[in-house]
Amino acid sequence: MAQIQCNFFSYALGHGVDISVTLPSFTSCNMDKEHSHQLPGKFPVLYLLHGHGNDYMVWHRYTSIDRYAEEKRIAVVTFTVGNIPYVNGDLGMNYYDFLEKELPDFVENYFPISNKPEERYIAGLSMGGYGSLIHGLQNPERYSAIGAFSPAVFTKEDLANRPRGGMPTSVMPDTYTVAEEAVNSGKKLPDLFLCVGDKDFLYEKVENYQAYLKSIWKGSRLRYDMLPGYEHEFAIWDIEVQEFLDWIDRKDVYKAMGPNKV
Q: pLDDT of 46-67, one tens digit each?
A: 999 999 999 999 999 999 999 9
Q: How far apart are CA 151 and CA 157, in angstroms?
A: 17
**259 band by pLDDT with thresholds 50, 70 and 90:** confident
Structure-model confidence comparison of residues 262 and 152, the more confident one: 152
For the residues of 99-144, what is the DSSP string, one character each?
Answer: IIIIHHHHHHHHSSB---GGGEEEEEETHHHHHHHHHHHH-GGG-S
Q: In this structure, what DSSP letter does residue 213 have?
A: H
Q: What is the mean pLDDT of residues 14-25?
A: 95
Per-residue pLDDT for 165 more than 70?
no
pLDDT of residue 186: 93
The tens digit of pLDDT for each residue in 188-241 reads 999 999 999 999 999 999 999 999 999 999 999 999 999 999 999 999 999 999
pLDDT of residue 160: 83
Per-residue pLDDT for 164 more than 60?
no
For the residues of 12-53, what is the DSSP string, one character each?
Answer: TTTEEEEEEEEE--SS-S-TTS------SSPBPEEEEE--TT
pLDDT of residue 47: 98
Considering the chain, what percentage of its residues have pLDDT values greater than 70? 93
**158 band by pLDDT with thresholds 50, 70 and 90:** confident
Mean pLDDT of the chain: 92
The upper half-sphere exposure of residue 245, i.e. CA atoms within 13 Å in the direction of its Cβ, equals 28
The upper half-sphere exposure of residue 187, i.e. CA atoms within 13 Å in the direction of its Cβ, equals 17
Q: Which amino acid is at 217?
A: W
pLDDT of residue 258: 83
Q: Are 95 and 89 in contact (CB under 8 A)?
A: yes
Taking residue 192's Cβ as centre, other Cβ atoms within 10 Å add up to: 24
pLDDT of residue 250: 95
The tens digit of pLDDT for each residue in 25-44 reads 877 655 556 777 788 899 99
pLDDT of residue 171: 77
**89 band by pLDDT with thresholds 50, 70 and 90:** confident
Q: Are 117 and 110 in contact (CB under 8 A)?
A: no
pLDDT of residue 254: 92
Q: How far apart are CA 261 and CA 139, in angstroms?
A: 34
Per-residue pLDDT for 92 more than 80?
no
219: left (phi over 0), alpha (psi -120 to 50) or beta: left
pLDDT of residue 262: 63
pLDDT of residue 22: 98
User: Collapsing DSSP states into helix, strand and coil, what is residue 253?
Assistant: helix
**163 band by pLDDT with thresholds 50, 70 and 90:** low
